[in-house]
Amino acid sequence: MSKRIEELTTFDPSEYLTTEEVQKLYIEEAKKTGDQKFLSECIEHVEKAKKIKLTDL
């Protein structure tokens, strides 16, 4: 049985960036692409992940 579109959620990478080590690796891999826009988006994901972690305390 497939989900209806209304039930699907948007993938949010920040939900999986749960440790500083993972965040660092994520940024390092983004840098390797040479794509500045992509790197900026990844940095935003890390910043959001840090905020999520702080609000969960």
- CB within 8 Å of 53: residues ≥ 6 apart: 18
Distance CA 40, CA 1 (A): 37
pLDDT at site 52: 81
CB 2 within 8 A of CB 33: no
**Mean pLDDT, the chain, whole residue set:** 88
Which position has the higher pLDDT, 44 or 6?
Answer: 44
* Distance between start and end Cα atoms, the chain: 37
pLDDT digits (tens, 9 = 90+) for 38-47: 999 999 999 9
pLDDT at 3 > cutoff 90: no
pLDDT band at 35 (very low <50, low <70, confident <90, very high): very high
Backbone angles phi, psi at 51, to 5 degrees: -65, -40
Could you tell me if 26 and 45 are in contact, meaning their C-beta atoms sit under 8 angstroms apart?
yes
> What pLDDT does residue 41 have?
97
